[in-house]
Chain A
Amino acid sequence: MATESIPTVYTPQFPSWRHRLARLTPWLGVVPFFLFALAFLLGPASYLLVGSLRDLQGNFTLDNYRNLNQPLVKGAYILSIQISAITALGGGLFGFLLAYAVTIGGLPRFVRSGLLTFSGVASNFAGVPLAFAFIATLGRIGLLTTWLKLIGLDIYDRGFTLYSFAGLSLTYMYFQFPLMVLIITPALEGLKREWREAAENLGASSWQYWWYVALPVLLPSILGTMILLFANAFGAHATAFALTGGTYNLVTILIGAQMRGDVLRDPGLGYALAMGMVLIMTVSITGYTLLQRRAERWLKR
Chain B
Amino acid sequence: MKFKWAWVWIILGIVYFFLPLVATINFSLKAERGRYSFRAYQIVLQDPQFISSFTLSIQIALLTIVFSLLLIVPTVYWAHLRLPQVRPILEFIAFLPFVLPAVVLVFGLIRIYSGPPFALFNRAWGTNLIMVGAYMALALPYMYRSVDTGLRAIDVRTLTEAAQSLGASWPVILWRVIFPNLRTALLSGAFLTFAIVIGEYTIAAFLGRFTFGPYLALLVRNRAYEPAALSILSFAITWSIMGLIQWLTYRAPGSTQVAAGPR
Contacts and interface: CB of A to CB of B under 8 A. Distances in A.
Q: Do A and B have CB atoms closer than 8 angstroms in the complex?
A: yes
Interface of A: 26-27, 29-30, 32-34, 36-37, 39-45, 47-48, 51, 94, 97-98, 100-102, 105-107, 111, 115-118, 120-137, 142-144, 173-175, 177, 179, 182-183, 186, 231-239, 241-242, 245, 252, 255-256, 258-260, 270, 274, 277-278, 281-282, 285, 289
Contacts of A127: 199-201, 213, 261-263
B83 A30 contact: yes
Interface string B1-19: 0001111011011001101
Contacts of A36: 71, 133, 136
A136 B202 contact: no
Contact of B5 (A32, A51, A105, A238): A105
A101 B9 contact: yes
B163 interface: no
B207 to A, nearest CB: 11
Contacts of A237: 101-103, 201-202, 262-263
Contacts of A97: 9
Interface stretch (B51-59, B90-98, B153-161): B90-98
Contacts of A128: 199, 201, 213, 216-217, 220, 231
Interface string B207-246: 0000001001100110000011011001100110111011
Contacts of B241: 124
Contacts of B82: 26, 29
B256 to A, nearest CB: 6
Contact of B231 (A40, A51, A123, A133): A133
Contacts of A183: 258
Interface centre among B9, B20, B246 (most CB of A within 10 A): B20
B111 A47 contact: yes
A231 B228 contact: no
A186 B257 CA distance: 12
A278 B108 CA distance: 12
A129 B83 contact: no
A116 B105 CA distance: 31
Given A41-B100, A123-B258, A102 B10 contact: yes
A234 B16 CA distance: 22
Nearest to A281: B99
Interface SS of chain A: helix
Interface of B: 4-7, 9-10, 12-13, 16-17, 19-24, 26-27, 71-72, 74-75, 78-79, 82-83, 86, 90, 93, 95-112, 133-134, 136-137, 140, 195-196, 199-202, 206, 213, 216-217, 220-221, 227-228, 230-231, 234-235, 238-239, 241-243, 245-246, 254, 256-263
- Interface on chain B toward A: helix, strand, loop, or mixed SS? helix
A13 to B, nearest CB: 28
B71 A32 contact: yes
Contact of A274 (B19, B107, B112, B262): B107
Given A120-B242, A277-B101, A277-B104, A26 B258 contact: no
Contacts of A133: 20-21, 23-24, 231, 235
11 contacts: A30-B86, A32-B71, A42-B93, A94-B9, A100-B9, A111-B10, A127-B263, A144-B19, A237-B103, A242-B220, A285-B99
A235 B102 contact: yes
A274 B108 CA distance: 9
B96 A41 contact: yes
Nearest to B245: A120
Nearest to B144: A33
Contact of A33 (B72, B104, B220, B227): B72
Contacts of B75: 29-30, 32-33
Nearest to A28: B78
